[in-house]
Chains A and B, each alone.
Chain A
Amino acid sequence: MIKKISKFSTIFITLAILYIPILIICFLSVNDSLRPYEFNGFTLKWYLQIFKEKTLYQAILNTWGIALLATAISTVCGTFIALAISSLKQKHRQLVIFLNNMPILNADIVTGISLMIVFSFLGLHFGRYTMLLAHIFFCIPFVVLSIMPRLKMMDENSYDAARDLGCTHFQAVRKVILPAIKVGIISGALIAFTMSIDDFIISYYTTGDGFSNFSTWIYSRLNRRTFSPAAYAYNTIITLGLLITLIYINLKGDSKNEKNN
């Protein structure tokens, strides 16, 4: 009993640390007052305001556009890179994985500045494309890393078996390898998307020409009159929407599994 209570309270306290600021944002999204320290009554006007606030709305679209594109590109590239890495000999494999880890472990601010410096040396025009390039840069390593363990778990002979049975290289990859590493690809894509949609520091350094995503929009408007609580409303929609979706998927997925068993 005591064990159960201590387990439950550990989980509860941890979730509280993570969710308290999110709950405050939810609360502010329905607060009629512009000042965060007083509650003037319930309102949903900020939710409508999301669509009226042109720059915010554009920033949200930019965030999603960049995140979807960066995820798609880095998932496809990351899958092929992971396949290529797994066929390397141990020594070379470790070296490439070492290189691959660099963007993951590096501090965001250093990555952001590095990219800014190299982009300006290459003479690139700062804006949506530099931000997209930066996001692809930090997403690929996560995709690669999440696929590698799946490839290792796979039976090495299954590819050769498929080839022996008459598959071309392409067919063997598509029909044998890809299904075996599907879970890794999906989780890699999810991680990439999560990283991209929440990124601030790297986006801050690699954007320009008035192109902003949700994070850089917020940062540039904090403490200014142009900051709109519609940002709180948008954030609340995302969080609640996701929470409901995730619980729904899990409940549905599990009842299916039980039927199969």
Chain B
Amino acid sequence: MKQRSLILPVYVIWLIILVFIPFLLMLFLAFTKTKGLDLTHITFSLDNFKDILDPIYFDAYKNSIVLSTIASLLCLLIGYPVAYILTKIKSSKTRNILLAMFVLPMWSNMLLRIIGWEILFNPSSILNSIGISFDLIGSPFAIIIGMVSTYLPLMIFPIYTSLNKLDNSLIEASYDLGASKFQTFKSVILPLSLPGIYSGFTMTFLPSATNFALPERLSGGNITLLGNIINSNFGKSFNYGFGSLLSVILIVIIFIVMIFINKKDKDGDLLL
């Protein structure tokens, strides 16, 4: 397969144009005050860095970190056993159907799934007719449930992949050497599935911390996340500088996470 082909350089250029050029542009915009992309009235300023420390945004940062950490941990708590059970199913028919059942919700529109929860969590809902009324809109609980339900499959699959790859002889060896089931799990299975956990965590944490439609619908306007601030700066207020600064910070965080994942998982096998 040692044929030189043109596609790779083209792909690398395409990635650079669509990943690094916008990063540089945002880095530049982060140091400016501008209305949208109107560069004729651009002024340099460090105000965006001051704004970022404005206490009015602290709740959004805190919510993003706290709520999506809880949601991702819940995804892990639910997703790990599910992935484990899936790898243990012997009949390939049952396993395939179940795997497909976990992907299927992603074909159902994300916004509509969120609206589904919104309708259920409203004080007056279709459940009133059977005497139940939730009044959860605006509560952190509603947001967390929404996040878990939206991103759970993204936790199950990387863990399933890493468990599936696990060499069975290692587990047998551990039993042969006298380890109990729990010991085997703790010192063989869990450490070997850590890369799957890391990528699952990244795949659920980031999107839930930055989704803006989900808190818009499930918080009744009470709880804002990072995504809402970024969205309103690029949308309503055309404050591209401030929005860019937040995006740049996110990119830097992602970059650090990627270096970390790349060390554990050199070929990127575990993101799917």
Contact = CB atoms under 8 A, between A and B. Distances in A.
A232 interface: yes
Interface in A63-119: 77, 80-81, 83-88, 93-94, 96-110, 113-118
A60 B14 CA distance: 29
Contacts of B269: 145, 148-149
Nearest to A191: B272
Given A102-B258, A222-B115, A84 B97 contact: no
Contact of B211 (A36, A104, A201, A242): A201
A223 B1 CA distance: 56
Judged by DSSP, the binding face of B is helix
B3 interface: yes
Interface in A240-261: 242-243, 246-247, 250-251, 253-254, 257
A107 B262 contact: no
A250 B26 contact: no
Nearest to B85: A7
Measured as residues with beta carbon below 8 angstroms from the partner, the interface class of chain B is 35 or more
B1 A87 contact: yes
Contact of A117 (B22, B122, B231): B22
Contacts of B110: 198, 200, 215
Interface string B201-237: 0110011011111000100000000010011001000
Contact of B268 (A101, A115, A235): A101
22 contacts: A14-B82, A15-B101, A18-B153, A20-B149, A24-B126, A25-B116, A39-B126, A85-B8, A94-B262, A96-B12, A102-B15, A102-B19, A103-B18, A104-B271, A107-B210, A109-B210, A198-B110, A218-B111, A218-B112, A243-B104, A251-B93, A254-B93
Interface of A: 7, 10-11, 13-15, 17-25, 27-28, 31, 36-39, 77, 80-81, 83-88, 93-94, 96-110, 113-118, 120-121, 137, 140, 142, 145-146, 148-149, 152, 156, 159, 169, 177, 191, 194, 197-198, 200-201, 205, 214-215, 218-219, 222, 231-232, 235, 238-239, 242-243, 246-247, 250-251, 253-254, 257
